[in-house]
Amino acid sequence: MMIRLIILSFVLVLQCLAKTGQSTIPSKNEIFELVDKANQKIGDFEDAIKAVKPSLHKADKNMSANDLDAAATAHKLIRKIKANGPSAYRLVGLMAQISEGVKLKLI
């Protein structure tokens, strides 16, 4: 649920910038700010998974491992964005990874 809010926030920022007459492309600093928020939310998600890991393990032995792996991959993508700068390819990759993590929750 939080991941969807992050994606929605990103889309809303882009729409607001377009409506105010500013460039439709957010600045590097704005992107880094959104990426930092995503990183924080993914960390919160990891903490929640670790807190309920015994219960998840009872339901599905691979669920917590899959969730933590998805979060680790998202963190890795965020580190690459910060190290190499944002690009459309990297940002789409991050959104796809976050989306995949959400899909894991829905299955």
User: What residues does each domain of the chain span?
Assistant: 2-106
pLDDT in tens, the chain (107 residues): 566 667 767 776 666 656 655 556 788 899 899 999 999 999 998 999 899 888 887 888 888 888 888 889 999 999 999 999 988 888 888 888 887 765 545 44
pLDDT at 100: 73
pLDDT at 7: 72
CB 5 within 8 A of CB 102: no
pLDDT at 106: 47
- Distance between CA atoms of residues 39 and 32, nearest Å: 10
